[in-house]
Amino acid sequence: MHTTTSQSLYHEALDVIVGGVNSPSRSFRAVGGDYPIFMKSAKGAYFWDEDDNQYIDYLAAFGPIILGHAHPVITKAIQDVTEQGILYGTPTEKEVRFAQMIRNAIPSMEQIRFVNSGTEAVMTTIRLARAYTGRDKIIKFAGCYHGHSDLVLVAAGSGPSTLGIPDSAGIPASIAGEVITVPFNDPEALSLALDHWSDQVAGILVEPLVGNFGIVPPQPEFLQQVNQLAHQAGALVIYDEVITAFRFHFGGVQTMYQVEPDLTALGKIIGGGLPIGAYGGKKKIMEKVAPMGPMYQAGTMAGNPLSISAGMACLTELSQEGTYDQLASMGEQLESEIWNAAKKYNHTIQLNRQSGALTVYFCDQPVTDYDGAQKSDSKKFGQFFHLMLQEGIYLAPSKYEAWFLTTAHSQEDINKTIEAIYKSFKNLPHS
């Protein structure tokens, strides 16, 4: 496979775009690659790069592309908007209808505000929790990435740890000092932290099913314990469902497990591939937001007709009968073949899967928290990643990311992927 055009574009990019990429997770540094692949076009489950190589895509743009690329319903929704004007700076009916659609699927979001990214959504839920409780501190879970706002880049994992940078430079110690980090799935650690700082904690920020050090589900009762401990301490529970909402079923992880947070942040899938974020929660809390209350948040592009229409088209498609069963059944097939292939060629792996999203770890203990995920062998993952790439399978270039199935993947794609998995494990060095 020749990728020389990507190589030369990368050299040009390095000159003009810092690091050659517009988001560090797109770089191939974490997987030992000299240059990332530059894609030229995409349709359904496929990508084509600048040298016309075809790949089956399991990146799904880090999550949003759950219907595959250039889905006709989303394309049509976008085209319709372009003829009606793309940005008004006024309220529109579509925003109301979309908010209603989301609230029907995730009832704890009694009131909603649209923003432009997951980062903005999470950042604002934190401000709101602080405004509502009059407290400053936030508890988060080690390794969970919640966007790139100052407060949550403390022990963030995902992007930063992929690069081997523990956190980020440029964050004042005074801000980092407001963040308490505890291990995921560890109610005792959470309880101890709350005992110590109880009357200072505004909120507990949690990915109810982690998507950022791979797919890591909560252990039974963990989410209930988070709620109970938070509320005893007078703190709010904030769910970051930027990755998880509408990923596993038509709703959030909260509706899947029937646990209600006070506030929720959304992004990714709800934009159908266009930039979006949303936050929402209990009405009595949301009423603190301007113009109703004293907590300010605004956005020129917020609720823009393109993102709202693409998002509505995406959720309408996802709500069709059988969609999530299809994703889960493809996920199940991949899971069982990955285990078989690893066993056949004597490689020790762990695999976590929820429906159509899975992560393969190269380690010998089940992964239930960030410490466990970190033990996954980076070198082995990098080798596996490149072997799969050579077979035309595009995985996320990080051991901490998931393989995302989309409704565009066909049985033929799955069969080809399974062939590539066997070949890659066969050729994967043992040490």
117 touches ligand PMP by CB under 6 A: yes
Q: Which of 27, 119, 352, 398 binds ligand PMP (CB under 6 A)?
A: 119
Interaction with ligand PMP in 142-171: which residues (CB under 6 A)? 145-147
Q: Which is nearer to ligand PMP, 239 or 385 (CB)?
A: 239
212 touches ligand PMP by CB under 6 A: yes
By beta carbon distance, the residue nearest ligand PMP is: 118
Give the separation between CA 254 and CA 249, rounded to whole angstroms.
Answer: 11
Q: How far is the CB of 310 from ligand PMP (least distance, A)?
A: 14
| 3-class secondary structure per residue, 131-180 | HHHCCCEEEEECCCCCCCCHHHCCCCCHHHHHCCCCCCCCCCHHHHCCEE
Q: How far is the CB of 232 from ligand PMP (least distance, A)?
A: 26
Q: Which is nearer to ligand PMP, 276 or 420 (CB)?
A: 276
Catalytic residue among 35, 145, 239, 394: 145
381 touches ligand PMP by CB under 6 A: no
Could you tell me how far CA 41 lies from the centroid of its own chain? 23
Q: Which of 36, 118, 305, 372 binds ligand PMP (CB under 6 A)?
A: 118
240 touches ligand PMP by CB under 6 A: yes
Give the separation between CA 344 and CA 360, rounded to whole angstroms.
Answer: 16
225 touches ligand PMP by CB under 6 A: no
Rama region for 392: left / alpha / beta (φ>0; ψ in -120 to 50; rest): left
Catalytic residue among 49, 57, 186, 240: 240
64 touches ligand PMP by CB under 6 A: no
203 touches ligand PMP by CB under 6 A: no
Give the separation between CA 68 and CA 242, rounded to whole angstroms.
Answer: 18
Q: Which of 214, 261, 267, 273 binds ligand PMP (CB under 6 A)?
A: 267
> Does 268 participate in catalysis according to the annotation?
yes
Structure tokens at 430: 């043992």
Q: CB of 130 within 8 A of CB of 204?
A: no
Q: Which residues, 6+ apart, have CB-to-CB distance to 370 below 8 Å? A: 141, 142, 143, 144, 157, 183, 184, 213
b/e map 285-309, b = 16+ CB within 10 Å: bbebbeeeeebebeeeebbbbbbbb
Q: How far is the CB of 299 from ligand PMP (least distance, A)?
A: 13
Q: Which is nearer to ligand PMP, 5 or 168 (CB)?
A: 168
**Regarding beta strands 277-281 and 350-354, do their DSSP bridges make them parallel or antiparallel, or are they unpaired?**
unpaired
Q: How many residues bind ligand PMP, per CB under 6 A? A: 15
Q: CB of 94 within 8 A of CB of 309?
A: yes
Measured distance between the N- and C-terminal CA atoms of the chain, rounded to whole angstroms = 25
Q: Which residues, 6+ apart, have CB-to-CB distance to 347 below 8 Å? A: 362, 380, 425, 428, 430
Q: Which is nearer to ligand PMP, 148 or 249 (CB)?
A: 148
311 touches ligand PMP by CB under 6 A: no
Q: How far is the CB of 242 from ligand PMP (least distance, A)?
A: 4
Give the separation between CA 402 and CA 25, rounded to whole angstroms.
Answer: 13
106 touches ligand PMP by CB under 6 A: no
> Does 426 participate in catalysis according to the annotation?
no
Interaction with ligand PMP in 333-372: which residues (CB under 6 A)? none
Q: Which of 62, 239, 394, 425 binds ligand PMP (CB under 6 A)?
A: 62
178 touches ligand PMP by CB under 6 A: no
122 touches ligand PMP by CB under 6 A: yes
Q: Where are the beta strands (DSSP E) in 287-377?
A: 350-354, 357-361
Catalytic residue among 94, 137, 140, 268: 268
Using CA atoms, how far residue 382 sits from 96, 166, 247, 261, 393, in Å, is 45, 20, 26, 37, 14
Q: Which residues are catalytic?
A: 145, 240, 268
Which residues of this protein are in contact with ligand PMP, per CB under 6 A?
A: 62, 117-119, 122, 145-147, 207, 211-212, 240, 242-243, 267
